[in-house]
């Protein structure tokens, strides 16, 4: 159990509505990530965080924003959802006792978002 909880696990919404996905961790790790997964594209990094209030863009960040006001929560927001954002979203954390980031990530169970 990696101590990661994603919510909601499933959501259906309409084009133009705002959506926030939440990633919650119980172990106080510094590094957190949001990926999306689509057929034919594999997993693609949207945004990541390397500390409270420290975030940066990944390879597919357009249309997404993130916030990390406390260590345990990393929020992904779609300000105005579009059909192209229909996807499965995965949150991940990097568990490193030293505080530096390695490539050993632990993923949540995913949030399936459908934008009609």
Partner 1 sequence: DAKTTQPPSMDCAEGRAANLPCNHSTISGNEYVYWYRQIHSQGPQYIIHGLKNNETNEMASLIITEDRKSSTLILPHATLRDTAVYYCIVRTNAGGTSYGKLTFGQGTILTVHP
Q: Where do contacts with partner 1 occur on this chain (CB under 8 A)?
A: 31, 33, 35, 42-45, 48, 50, 56, 58-59, 90, 92, 94, 96, 100-110
- Cβ atoms of residues 109 and 9 within 8 Å: yes
Cβ contacts of residue 1 below 8 Å, gap of 6+? Answer: none
Q: Which residue has the tokens 């997993």?
A: 43
Q: Which is nearer to partner 1, 82 or 100 (CB)?
A: 100
CB of residue 35 vs partner 1: minimum separation in angstroms?
8
Q: Which is nearer to partner 1, 13 or 106 (CB)?
A: 106
């Amino acid at each position: 159990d990696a101590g990661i909880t994603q919510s909601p696990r499933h959501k259906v919404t309409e084009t133009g509505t705002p959506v926030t996905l939440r990633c919650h961790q119980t172990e106080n790790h510094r590094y957190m990530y949001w990926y999306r997964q689509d057929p034919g594209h594999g997993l693609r990094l949207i945004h990541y965080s390397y500390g409270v209030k420290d975030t940066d863009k990944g390879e597919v960040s357009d249309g997404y924003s993130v916030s990390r006001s406390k260590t345990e929560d990393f929020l992904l927001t779609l300000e105005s959802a579009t059909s192209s954002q229909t996807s499965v979203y995965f949150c991940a954390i990097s568990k490193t006792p030293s505080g530096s980031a390695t490539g050993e990530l632990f993923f949540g169970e995913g949030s399936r978002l459908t934008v009609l």
